[in-house]
Structure 1
Amino acid sequence: MTLDTRTEQEVDPGTGSDPSDDTAAPEDAGTAGAAGPTRAQRLRGALPWLVLVVAVVVAALGGRSWWAAEHDAGLHRAAERDAVLVAARTHVATLTTMDSGDVAGGLDAWGAATTGMLHDQMTGIDEGSREMLDALGTTSVGRVVDAAVLELDGATATVLVTVEVTVTETGEDAAAEPTVKRNRFAADLREVDGTWLLENLQQVAVSL
Structure 2
Amino acid sequence: MKLRLLAVFAFLSVLAAAFAGWSWWRAAADESYARGRERDAVLAAAGPYLVTLNTIDYRTAAADVDRWIAATTGQYFKDLSGDRQLQIDRAAASRTVSSASLVQAAVTEVDPARGSARLLAVLDVRVSTGGAPPSARLNRLTVDVSRSPDGWKISGVQAAGS
TM-score, normalising length from structure 2? 0.80
- Corresponding residue for 1:103? 61
The correspondence for 2:136, drawn from 162, 173, 180, is 180
User: Quick one: distance in 1 between partners of 2:87 and 2:48?
Assistant: 24
Instruction: Determine whether 1:70 maps to 2:28.
Output: yes
Structure 2: unaligned runs, 5 residues or longer: none
From the superposition, tell whether residues 56 and 126 of structure 1 become closer, same or farther in structure 2 (CA, over 3 Å): closer
Which structure has more RCO (C-alpha within 8 Å, separation ≥ 6)? 2
What is the distance in 2 between the residues matched to 1:126 and 1:82? 31
Say which SS state the counterpart of residue 102 (structure 1) adopts: helix
Could you report, residue by residue, the CA deviation over 1:119-142 in whole angstroms, capped at 9, with x for unpaired residues? 112222253542232233232112
The aligned amino acid for 1:81 is R
Per-residue Cα deviation, 1:63-111 (whole angstroms, up to 9, x for no partner): 2232122112222222222222232322221111111111121112111
Amino-acid identity (%)? 35
Q: Does 1:91 align with 2:49?
A: yes
- Note if 1:140 corresponds to 2:98: yes
For residue 197 of structure 1, what is the aligned residue in structure 2? 153
> 1:22-74 CA distances to partner (integer Å, 9 max, x unpaired)?
xxxxxxxxxxxxxxxxx77xx4xx96x78876665454334223212211222
Richer in strand (by share)? 2
* TM-score, normalising length: structure 1: 0.64
- Kept in 1, the 8 Å contact 2:123–2:138? The answer is yes
Q: Residues 128, 153 of structure 1: CA spacing in aligned structure 2 closer, same or farther, 3 A cutoff?
A: closer
RMSD: 2.7
1:149 shift after superposition: 2.2
CA distance in 2, matches of 1:78, 1:64: 20
State the alpha-carbon separation in 2 of the partners of residues 69 and 127 from structure 1: 49
Deviation track 1:6-28 (CA, whole Å, cap 9, x = no partner) reads: xxxxxxxxxxxxxxxxxxxxxxx
8 Å CA contact 2:65–2:87 kept in 1: the answer is no
1:150 to 108, 113, 119: 108
Q: Report how far residue 183 of structure 1 moved.
A: 1.6
How much does 1:153 deviate? 2.4
**Whole-Å separation in 2 of the counterparts to 1:59 and 1:159:** 39
Size of the aligned set, in residue pairs, is 160
